[in-house]
Amino acid sequence: MINKVVESAMTAVADVRSGSTILVGGFGEAGSPATLLQALIEQGATDLTMVSNNVGYDDYGLAALIARGRVRKMICAFPNYAAGIAFRNRYLAGQIELELVPQGTLVERMRAAGAGLGGFFTPTGAETELSAGKETRVIDGVVQVLERPLKGDYALIRGKVADRWGNLTYWRAQRNFNPIMAMAATTTIAEVSEIVPLGAIDPDVIITPGPFIHRVTVCPRYNPT
């Protein structure tokens, strides 16, 4: 019997090795796998490359991981906001590397990795400093940049409902990066609000199908206090 459900967030992240590249879903706090991130803090892996739209908030989750010096490099679109103080401090001290990627390119690079594509040409960022040094060519009169796939060793995502095969749904804009990151990692771990019996989710409303998911664990939505 296929059963991807694991008992806790700690169990789910137990084998994450130092030096891993980890994709982290969510847009701000919406759809963020905050409990898995808290477990990762306890778990201890370090020298991590984290891929996420943002850099976390205050001193929990991704921000706490950064504050503790566990992140070597951040690949993201939008690290510059007041509550991203953990990242800012380390960045200004030269203690963390930043690869800034336009938001649409960031998600498309992960999709390319998940879809087995070797790269793609996009007009986004052409003739700007973010495409400096990258191969460009004019296609149909538009300058386009060649972007490479971005694959994770792990993806940590948040969903709404799952079954034991790993079929997943998402609640509203919790969805964001999560279904794409699910495709783009060697091991994808999902925290969800609820596990339901196999067959309880209508096949037409499943957003992420089982083969993209490796472990699922139930966690209430994490609300920092």
Whether the CB-CB separation of 162 and 213 falls below 8 Å is answered with yes
Residue 118 binding: pick among a copy of itself, other proteins, none (C-beta 5-8 Å cut-off by kind): a copy of itself
Residue 133 binding: pick among other proteins, a copy of itself, none (C-beta 5-8 Å cut-off by kind): none
Q: Of 14, 21, 60, which is closest to residue 37 (Cα–Cα)?
A: 60
The residue whose two tokens read 């509203």 is: 172
Amino acid at position 72, single letter: R
Stretch that binds other proteins, among 39-47, 58-66, 95-103, 133-141 (CB under 8 A): 95-103
Stretch that binds other proteins, among 11-19, 42-50, 60-68, 159-167 (CB under 8 A): 159-167
Whether the CB-CB separation of 25 and 158 falls below 8 Å is answered with yes
Across 188-210, b (16+ Cβ under 10 Å) vs e yields: bbbbbbebeeeeebeeeebebeb
# binding residues, a copy of itself (CB under 8 A): 24
Take residue 10 and report the two structure tokens written for it: 């700690």
Note whether 179 binds other proteins by CB under 8 A: yes
Q: Which of 96, 112, 150, 155 binds a copy of itself (CB under 8 A)?
A: 112
Residue 140 binding: pick among a copy of itself, other proteins, none (C-beta 5-8 Å cut-off by kind): a copy of itself
Cα–Cα distance, 98 to 145 (Å, whole number):
20
Half-sphere CA count of 114, side-chain side, radius 13 A: 24
> Which residues, numbered 17-36, are part of the site for other proteins (CB under 8 A)?
27-31
CB of 114 to a copy of itself, least distance (A): 12
User: Given the complex with other proteins, which of 45 and 125 has the nearer CB atom?
Assistant: 125
The residue whose two tokens read 């966690």 is: 219
* Site residues (vs other proteins, CB under 8 A): 1-2, 27-31, 77-81, 84, 87-88, 91-92, 98, 100-105, 107-108, 111, 113-117, 122-130, 143, 163-165, 167, 170-180, 183, 198-199, 203-204, 206-207, 209-212, 221, 223
